[in-house]
Homo-oligomer: A and B are copies of this chain.
Amino acid sequence: MPLSTLPVPNRWTRDQHTANMVSPENHTNGQATTLTPELTYFTANPKPTTLDQGLHQARTFIQHHASSNRRVALVTSGGTTVPLENQTVRFIDNFSAGTRGATSAEYFLQAGYAVIFLHRQFSLLPYSRHYSHSTNCFLDFMTANAEGKVVVEDEYQSQMSKVLKQYEKAKRERTLLLLPFTTVNDYLWHLRSIAEAMQPLGANALFYLAAAVSDFFVPAARMVEHKIQSSEDFHRTSAAAVVDNSATKLPAAHMEGKSLIIDLDPVPKFLKVLVDGWAPEAMIVSFKLETDPSLLAEKARYALKKYAHHLVIGNLLNTRKWEVLFVSVAEGENWVRVEQGLAGNGAEAGDDGSGKKDATVEIESLIVPEVARMHVMMIDNCASSA
């Protein structure tokens, strides 16, 4: 049966042999002869200069935890950028402060996971997120004591001590690896490489894909080198020379009269490739962010069916701090909600990860144990069917 017509499999009991059958390599050697965008992407778009170093760190980290049979979660976080120029002044971005990812990473660590935190550079990080932004500037928590030493003010001691202890535990036990990305190209190269490096973990690997990844991008061949000059501002013939002269389409960003036109290609759908080829034994959780409530459930179901992975967590931009929708083959559709009156100060206040008081509940404290429970069940099924 060709891959594209496979029904949604019950992947909780999927066996290793079948998984390998549909890996990209076999697919290429077998019936598929056309070069899909997924297959050509990594030859057409250059490897990030930071990849080798990050991958080296990831391999060391994974080996360390594989040897102790610890579960390892790859948590992706923050939005990817789509640069409009090689020397980037302008870019397209996806809304995400990284709150979901950074908060979830803390709860995965609490649940005993080792966490590779693949995050947008300068987005929120586990632990430091509690003091990251202007509404919670850590300098406001500091004071000079009688001896002139800078210390944390008494009233903030207990909260900061708790955070610092968790942070230092993660450092001491080497359970948290921070790897940054900026562009969607950085992200995709890292995702592929880390996924392949995680294969020795087998079912102990979890992919928790909370990053807001661009659906559209500028292929390297259609990227201009320098900042695009607005014709109104500076009358010079187009500085938008395309780097690769073999490109037949116009540069992705160019002036038409006084307007700037940006023409973006779809990003190949790598979730399918991840599920079938890069991470055949892992549990894979994706997120679906929508703004229109009438689309959410339908789009989450659609994604689960299309990519045949394990769990889609749907959320709406305006209510994502209080409720999310779990959609899985194993358990159907379930809302996870923070009990009324316990939620934080709402989406706006929570954007910076600082809107929550001790008395309130972070929804990630409900999401992560649920995901971990499903993951353990999957690991047990794998073990019993082996």
Contact = CB atoms under 8 A, between A and B. Distances in A.
Interface of A: 81, 85, 87-95, 97, 121-122, 125, 127-128, 131-134, 137-139, 142, 144, 148-152, 157, 160-161, 163-165, 167, 178, 180, 212, 214-216, 225-227, 229-230, 232-234, 236, 239, 258-266, 269, 289-292, 295, 299, 302, 317-318, 352
Contacts of A89: 94-95, 212, 289, 291, 317
Instruction: Please list the 6 inter-chain residue pairs (A to B) with the smallest Cβ-Cβ separation, ordered nearest first.
Output: A87-B291, A262-B262, A216-B260, A260-B264, A150-B152, A226-B292
Copies of this chain, complex-wide, total: 2
A159 to B, nearest CB: 10
25 contacts: A87-B318, A88-B95, A89-B94, A89-B289, A90-B93, A91-B93, A91-B95, A121-B134, A127-B139, A128-B137, A134-B180, A142-B160, A149-B151, A149-B157, A150-B151, A150-B161, A215-B260, A226-B291, A239-B295, A258-B265, A259-B264, A260-B263, A261-B261, A262-B263, A262-B264
A106 to B, nearest CB: 13
A202 to B, nearest CB: 31
Nearest to A149: B157
A145 to B, nearest CB: 9
A215 B262 CA distance: 14
Contact of A227 (B151, B236, B291): B291
A229 B87 CA distance: 29
Contacts of A226: 290-292, 295
Contacts of A133: 122
Contacts of A232: 266, 269
A233 B262 contact: no
A148 B161 contact: yes
A239 B236 CA distance: 38
Given A150-B152, A151-B149, A138 B128 contact: yes
A92 B95 contact: no
Contact of A134 (B87, B178, B214): B178
A379 to B, nearest CB: 31
A212 to B, nearest CB: 8
Contacts of A261: 261-264
A236 B352 CA distance: 34
Contact of A138 (B94, B138, B233): B138
Nearest to A230: B215
A149 B88 CA distance: 45
B128 A139 contact: yes
Given A150-B157, A289-B89, A292-B226, A233 B259 contact: no
B85 A90 contact: no
Contacts of A134: 121-122, 125, 128, 178, 180
Given A92-B90, A263-B259, A125 B137 contact: yes
Contacts of A260: 215-216, 263-264, 266
Contacts of A149: 151-152, 157, 161
A90 to B, nearest CB: 6
